[in-house]
Amino acid sequence: LRPLPVIAALILLTGCSGVQSTLDPAGSEAIAVFQLLMTMVIGGTIIWFAVIGVTIYASRSRRQVWPISKAVRVIGWGGVAFPVVVLILLLSYAVWLMPSIRPWIPRQTSENERIEVTGEQFWWRIKYPDTDELPGFDTANELRLPVGQRTYFSLEAPDVIHSFWIPALGGKTDMIPGRTNVTSLQPTRIGVFRAPCAEFCGTSHALMAFSVVVMGQEDYAAWRNLRAQDAASTAQPGYRLFMRHGCSACHAIQGTEAKGRIGPDLTYFGHRQTVAAGTLTNTSANIAHFIKAPENIKPGAKMPAFGMLPDADVDAIAAYLWGLK
Ligand SMILES: [Cu+2]
């Protein structure tokens, strides 16, 4: 066994797993796509070896003249019948798979049972609908879903085309200004995944992602309960500075006077995995860093820089946001 090719293969294979991989599926749609891919890769490999085998056999065997009828038979079976059968089988299999790759969205799924996701430049506005027991709420840049359950989405964009895609779960669907697209997903495994914007949408397109936290059904129900309550504390100095420096013109924090709608909702910000739509990990230092100079971290971001504020104020605001748990 030669070590180098084995090491190279192992390094390459590490690219197949992870939070943003279609080769490590965690949702029924992604699993269907993965099955189709595997069928084609394995089938293609078998046919490739067969063709190479026949070629080697032909080049090694004794040369002889074939009667025309035998030649026609070989071409007819190997060159016409075989590909036609293989392609028909493949097409039927793909058509049969289609409903599980893109499940039919029933008409009776009323608009308010769908999570609304809106692609903004360069972040994700997310609106959970009212349920029978609980009021809906806004959030941003992080989707939480219950495992094993189908969730419906309606997808919109106010500015340019974005695309909603959670590689590990499936469902790539464009978000097009002026229309509402719908899709649905069914996660099969608990975990945290990453979803990049999949349609070039401007300067910071590559810095526009959201996290997807797939939770056990009980944990999810507990989280929804928590989110339905007005909980944020308004006693901290960070909150007063947040209001005084005008952050609430653009940002909302549920349960406080901050009700801005222009930028991402910051309720329970401490629960979030990332800052600025998947750009930085969520730490108090990174929040402060982003508030002072969003443009340095995310070119084109539509948040003004607050570098002129005293460091102590920014740190207090960052600590307050990070503490919203
Ligand atoms: Cu985008």
**How confident is the model at residue 118, as a pLDDT?**
97
**What is the rounded average pLDDT for all residues in the chain?**
92
In the reported structure, the alpha carbon of residue 265 is separated from the centroid of ligand 1 by a whole-number distance in angstroms of: 18
* Residue 236 CA: distances (Å) to CA of 106, 258, 279: 47, 14, 27
As a whole number of angstroms, the distance between CA 1 and CA 5 comes to 9
The answer to whether residues 128 and 227 touch, using CB atoms and an 8 Å cutoff, is yes
**How confident is the model at residue 232, as a pLDDT?**
76
Above 70 in pLDDT, residue 157?
A: yes
In the reported structure, the alpha carbon of residue 19 is separated from the centroid of ligand 1 by a whole-number distance in angstroms of: 19
As a whole number of angstroms, the distance between CA 279 and CA 50 comes to 48
In the reported structure, the alpha carbon of residue 164 is separated from the centroid of ligand 1 by a whole-number distance in angstroms of: 8
Local structure of 199: helix, strand or coil: coil
In the reported structure, the alpha carbon of residue 199 is separated from the centroid of ligand 1 by a whole-number distance in angstroms of: 6
* Confidence class for position 109, pLDDT limits 50, 70, 90: low
pLDDT digits (tens, 9 = 90+) for 161-186: 999 999 999 989 999 999 999 999 99
In the reported structure, the alpha carbon of residue 307 is separated from the centroid of ligand 1 by a whole-number distance in angstroms of: 26
* Confidence class for position 110, pLDDT limits 50, 70, 90: low
Above 90 in pLDDT, residue 147?
A: yes
Above 70 in pLDDT, residue 309?
A: yes
Q: What would the two tokens of residue 88 be?
A: 């028909």
In the reported structure, the alpha carbon of residue 25 is separated from the centroid of ligand 1 by a whole-number distance in angstroms of: 23
In the reported structure, the alpha carbon of residue 260 is separated from the centroid of ligand 1 by a whole-number distance in angstroms of: 22
In the reported structure, the alpha carbon of residue 203 is separated from the centroid of ligand 1 by a whole-number distance in angstroms of: 10
The predicted model scores a pTM of 0.88
Above 80 in pLDDT, residue 91?
A: yes
Which range (25-34, 57-66, 216-225) has the least confidence? 57-66
Which range (42-46, 97-101, 297-301) has the least confidence? 97-101
Local structure of 218: helix, strand or coil: helix
pLDDT digits (tens, 9 = 90+) for 73-82: 999 999 999 9
The answer to whether residues 145 and 192 touch, using CB atoms and an 8 Å cutoff, is no
In the reported structure, the alpha carbon of residue 208 is separated from the centroid of ligand 1 by a whole-number distance in angstroms of: 6
* Confidence class for position 17, pLDDT limits 50, 70, 90: confident
As a whole number of angstroms, the distance between CA 68 and CA 308 comes to 88
**How confident is the model at residue 144, as a pLDDT?**
96
pLDDT digits (tens, 9 = 90+) for 236-284: 899 999 999 999 999 999 999 999 999 999 999 999 999 999 999 999 9
In the reported structure, the alpha carbon of residue 74 is separated from the centroid of ligand 1 by a whole-number distance in angstroms of: 53
Above 90 in pLDDT, residue 7?
A: no
In the reported structure, the alpha carbon of residue 93 is separated from the centroid of ligand 1 by a whole-number distance in angstroms of: 33
The answer to whether residues 34 and 41 touch, using CB atoms and an 8 Å cutoff, is no
Ion ligand 1: residue ranges with CB closer than 5 A: 162, 197, 201, 208
In the reported structure, the alpha carbon of residue 98 is separated from the centroid of ligand 1 by a whole-number distance in angstroms of: 26
What is the DSSP code string of 4-40? Answer: HHHHHHHHHHGGGSSTT-TTS--BHHHHHHHHHHHHH
Q: Residues of the chain with pLDDT > 90: what percent?
A: 79
- Residue identified by tokens 């909150």 is 239
Q: Residues of the chain with pLDDT > 70: what percent?
A: 97
